[in-house]
Structure 1
Amino acid sequence: MIQAIHTANISGVIALAGGGSQALADLLKQPGASSTILEAIVPYSGSAMVNFLGRAPDQSCSALTARQMAMQAWQRARQLSSKQADTLFGLGLTAALATQPQRKGSDRCYIALQTLTETLELAIDFTLPDSAQLRQQQENLCTEQTLGLLGHLIGRETSDQQSKDRSDQYQRSFSSTAGKPDWQSVLLGKQSSTLEVAGPSLIFPGAFDPIHKGHMEMKRIAEQHTAMNALFEISVFNVDKPPLDYWEMQKRHASLTDLGELVFTSAATFVEKAAIFPEATFIVGADTIKRIANITYYQQDPQHRDRAINELVRRGARFLVFGRFNEGHFNTLEDLDLPVILQAICEQVPESRFRDDVSSTLIRQDQHKGPA
């Protein structure tokens, strides 16, 4: 399998954390590794992972973290190689393997592979207790599955017989999510959005992870106020996170498809959004307007911030601002100290018309806690 991987026309970056290093070692010790592996990254400490991903992951060992590592690795491969994007891959692996003293929860491994056309995800949950299964056995299984994932990339599927023979040692789940052509174009920077909008528009930007009743009430009020239909906008890129992978894009698309029209864009900032959607009214929370005014996002340069706000004005952007509950207080536009030029293009939705203390962040935190 390794020889086939090295002779195939693929190159990529591998990122590992918490285990799985044997797979990398096995790839490197075979002739031809330099044509396959552009770079190997081991963000082992918490600070190294923050530096690699741009922020601390919600969980250090999870499917989401593995996918984010794979996406960041793929982006790095694109920087390092002049090859066609469809020949590049990013592989992310994060594992919590057998250790002493025993950890709370199960030993597990998540492996993700990002390419131009698909996001692959493989999860392994080791079912034997630490005392019965040596760490090296777990490393061997992680290596086997990692090489099998790369084999999938080159059309060399491994036999399921070994997995069936050792089904009492681990549980395995696999998923593949294809990227739609327009999603690929946005990710590559060939187009700025998946939908062209002409003339004034009502844009509701956000992550919507997940969407909740507060979002839908904001949308209803904004549509009633402007007499326009709102368009959900999700940026594939973020100033402090890896780009969204196809698994995430498909999840957001599925959750919103019956609630309104959705557009994916490459616009990480509102200046970029305003360029895609001139004369748009943006539905935002008070916390978002506060960030637009915060010089932290402009290299601590007030003049840089003011130029950005002037560009928003030039593009005809306006903001319909909804109050946001934060740190025990419901903040509205009136609570914010904003530059006059930004204040002039904002309109407050009064608290008497909208108040919702739920946030997607709190919902995700509750989901991670699980049932009581």
Structure 2
Amino acid sequence: MAPILHISWLILLVFPPKLLLQAIANACKVQAASVSHLTESDLSDEHETHFSEDQELEQLVDGKICFKVYPFSSAETCTSTAERKIILSGSFNPLHDGHIKLLEVATSSFCGSGYPCFEISAVNADKPPLSVSQIKDRIKQFEKAGKTVIISNQPYFYKKAELFPGSAFVIGADTVARLINPKYYDGDYGKMLEILDGCKRIGCTFLVGGRNVDGVFKVLEDFDIPETLKDMFVSNTS
């Protein structure tokens, strides 16, 4: 079964046995002799099943849901009609003023037309997943700062792009170095192009800030971005 995108409750459709049996009989083109005439009471019932925050986070780590949003931003920001999300991903252990400033600069570069969000993946490609208590401790930082945070279970940017199509991801030059390195795609340059082109097709972009890479400060212009992907990478300078 494919993972269910984040919702705070799940709707379960419960079919009465009589109705289910009748449907099976109809599909098989046979008579269901033991099924009496259906009445209004046989119509399907819709029920809501509510989960606690801990249960939702456990489901997220287990891959049953994909993300959960904590909209701690001001009411004005949270009700923004902007479709584009501007996302800064990280572990945020801890969250500090530099992170907040970086996302503010990225948002202003889009003339304030994006919805700024922080994002933490509870699942890491190289480490054990975060525990529910660890996730909740990190969430508290964003509640205190009044900043929206998304908890997901996708450590890879191309998977994040699938969850949030049309978004702009704020990254450093060190991340660019990995994104365009075939080494991280099983050494397959074609696979790298295919994956990044998939991100481009669903409207995602990367806002790139300067970072030290192997002891040298680098910016976007220092990288040889494949021609077909150049318009997907945008310099994010303050």
Q: Same fold (TM over 0.5)?
A: yes
1:295 aligns with 2:182: yes
Q: Is the 8 A contact 1:199 1:278 kept in 2?
A: no
Aligned equivalent of 1:280: 167
CA contact (8 A) 2:173 2:213 kept: no
Amino acid at match of 1:254: K
- Structure 1 distance, partners of 2:126, 2:183, is 13
Q: Which of 316, 322, 339 is residue 203 of structure 2 equivalent to?
A: 316
Residue type matched to 1:284 in 2? Answer: I
* Deviation digits for residues 218-260 of structure 1 (CA, Å, limit 9, x no counterpart): 1111121221231111111122222111232122112222331
Tell me what 1:255 maps to: 141
The residue aligned with 1:222 is 106
Question: How does the TM-score come out when normalised to structure 2?
Answer: 0.67
Alignment pair present for 1:182 and 2:69: no
Deviation of the 1:324 alpha carbon: 0.9
> Which residue identity is paired with 2:224?
D
Report the residue type matching 1:238 in the other structure: N
Q: Which 5+ residue runs of structure 2 have no aligned equivalent?
A: 1-51, 72-81
Query: How is 1:67-146 mapped onto 2 (pairs within 5 angstroms)?
Result: none
Aligned match of 1:174: none
Give the superposition deviation at 1:179.
Answer: 6.6
Matched residue pairs, number? 174
CA distance in 1, matches of 2:85, 2:209: 18
Aligned identity (percent) is 30
SS, match of residue 338 in structure 1: coil
Check conservation: 2:88, 2:117, Cα contact below 8 A: yes
1:256-298 Cα shifts (integer Å, max 9, x gaps): 2233111111112111111110100111111112111111211
Give the partner amino acid of 1:221.
Answer: V
Alpha-carbon spacing, 1:256–1:305, altered in 2? closer, same or farther (3 Å): same
RMSD over equivalenced CA pairs, Å: 2.2
- Displacement after TM superposition at 1:343 (Å): 2.4
Deviations 1:168-215 (A, max 9, x none): xxxxxxxxxx97222112112111101399932111111112222321
In 2, distance between residues paired with 1:187 and 1:309? 25
Q: Quick one: structure 1 residues 301 and 263, their matched pair in 2 at CA, closer, same or farther if it must change by over 3 Å?
A: same
Structure 1 residue runs of 5 or longer lacking an equivalent are 1-177, 354-372
Q: In 1, are the aligned partners of 2:84 and 2:115 still within 8 Å (CA)?
A: no
- Residue 106 of structure 2 aligns with an amino acid whose one-letter code is A
After TM superposition, list the pairs within 5 Å mapping 1:327-366 onto structure 2: 327-350=214-237, 353=238
**Deviation by residue 1:293-319 (Cα, 9 ceiling, x = unmatched):** 111211111111111011101111011
Task: Using structure 1 for the length normalisation, give the TM-score.
Answer: 0.44
Once residues 258 and 324 of structure 1 are traced to their aligned partners in structure 2, the CA distance between those partners, rounded to angstroms, is 28
Alpha-carbon distance change, 284 to 199 in structure 1, aligned in 2, over 3 angstroms: same
Does the CA-based 8 Å contact 2:209-2:236 persist in structure 1? Answer: yes
Please give the residue correspondences for 1:55-70 in structure 2 after superposition, counting only pairs within 5 Å: none
Q: Counterparts of 2:204 and 2:131 in 1: how far apart (Å)?
A: 29
